Amino acid sequence: MLRKILRVTFNIGLYLCVLSPSHAQSSLEEDCQPSNADQINELFYAKVTPYVASVDRQGNPLLGPEEAYFEKAQHYYEAYKNFKSVFIDFDAFEAITSANPNALENFESKLFVLGPNCEEISIYRGNLLGSYKAPFQEILRLMELGLNSNNQALIEFAGKKLSALPLNINAIIEILKNDFGFNSTSLSEILPESFLRNYITSKEIPISLTSETALLTFLSLKGSMSGKKSQLYFFVPSSFKGISKNRSAILLSSDGIIHSVPGVNVPMATEVLNRLGVPTEPILISEIITDSSGSCNLDEAGHWQQIIDGRKVRTCPFNSLVSIMLMEKNYINTIDYKPQLSQFAKVTKILDR
């Protein structure tokens, strides 16, 4: 509807807003709500004298493109200076400007976009001004919104003007467990090429590496961990033969919670987590012993096997049995314990809390 109003009422052109310093900072309005339809329509429907470019007697422009731009900017600044400011959200900005990037230029002295933390973001020549912090998921949402409509102003803003607010350890772990929760195109657009090519050699991000790449994207957005520091331990099979879900791993956090992380690329995840300031170590598992649910070990060919009713089965439910082994602390009876004693000693301290 707004786009239709703009097309019918105005001949949209280039426009310079005279920015008020108060609008470059967060106003933190109490309700932080966009303007209602009446307030928006009052600005868009206003009858003002259209700008007419200065010409000589022969009808030739007197001013060059830049000078004409500033003249037009001053014209609309004066035309709307007594109007109240109007605020829209990112979704409205995308809907109005996707078909015509210059659709809002005549109104930029009075129109602002509400930022992730209620900042009043100024618009200049169709671009969103300033740099801000935002929740990681909101940055990804804005990037996807811009990509879906090819809105270059929104793509530029989400990819280059926003940095991520800190996440606590639980939120970081949830990212790592969710390969299907992220849009790989959005991640690729945000990630600097140097970051991406250090880890991804294919043209597109594989689904199996989406969560690790999301964590890398969070890091590239100056993301960090909030709250109490946490130590993480990955329990990784020393062989993947006979394990149904390739690259399966169990993750133990220093609060004693055991997480199952199927499909994780442990080397990449470990490196990114450590760079985020989350100390992370892998522990290799080649034998699993439990009192209640059976055991697994590797045969001579490095293939996992399990004894069920006295019969060897060449498979192993790795994640579930390792979780049980940790709860029972039966890792002290495995062949892996002594070679990795320092790591297992820390694990025991965590589980004893």
Q: Could you report the per-residue pLDDT of 52-67, keeping only the tens digit for each?
A: 888 777 777 788 788 8
Q: pLDDT digits over 267-313, tens only?
A: 999 999 999 999 999 999 999 999 988 899 999 999 999 988 778 88
Q: Is 214 found in the same domain as 236?
A: no
Please provide residue 289's backbone torsions phi and psi, each rounded to the nearest 5 degrees. -125, 130
Name the burial class of residue 337, with classes exposed (0-12), middle (13-18) and buried (19+) by CB atoms within 10 angstroms of its CB: middle
Q: Is 329 found in the same domain as 239?
A: yes
Q: Is 156 found in the same domain as 88?
A: no
pLDDT average, residue stretch 212-239: 94
**Neighbour-count burial for 29-55, b at 16+ CB within 10 Å, e otherwise:** eeebebbeeeebeebbeeeeeebeeee
Q: Is 282 found in the same domain as 259?
A: yes
Please provide residue 154's backbone torsions phi and psi, each rounded to the nearest 5 degrees. -75, -40
Q: Is 211 found in the same domain as 107?
A: no
18 pLDDT higher than 70: no
Q: Is 198 found in the same domain as 268?
A: no
Q: Is 250 found in the same domain as 299?
A: yes
Of the three residues 185, 202, 228, the one that is the final residue of a domain is 228
pLDDT average, residue stretch 255-267: 91
Q: Which pTM does this prediction carry?
A: 0.84
Of the three residues 130, 154, 173, the one that is the final residue of a domain is 130
> Quick one: tokens of 282?
């892998």
Confidence of residue 50 (pLDDT cuts 50, 70, 90): confident
Q: Is 297 found in the same domain as 206?
A: no
Confidence of residue 49 (pLDDT cuts 50, 70, 90): confident
Average pLDDT of the residues of the chain: 87
The domain tally of the chain equals: 3
Q: Is 144 found in the same domain as 44?
A: no
Q: Is 125 found in the same domain as 21?
A: yes
Range with the poorest average pLDDT among 17-26, 117-126, 314-323, 329-338:
17-26
pLDDT average, residue stretch 75-90: 92
Of the three residues 104, 130, 156, the one that is the final residue of a domain is 130
Domain with 237 in it: 232-352
Q: Is 215 found in the same domain as 266?
A: no
Q: Is 213 found in the same domain as 156?
A: yes
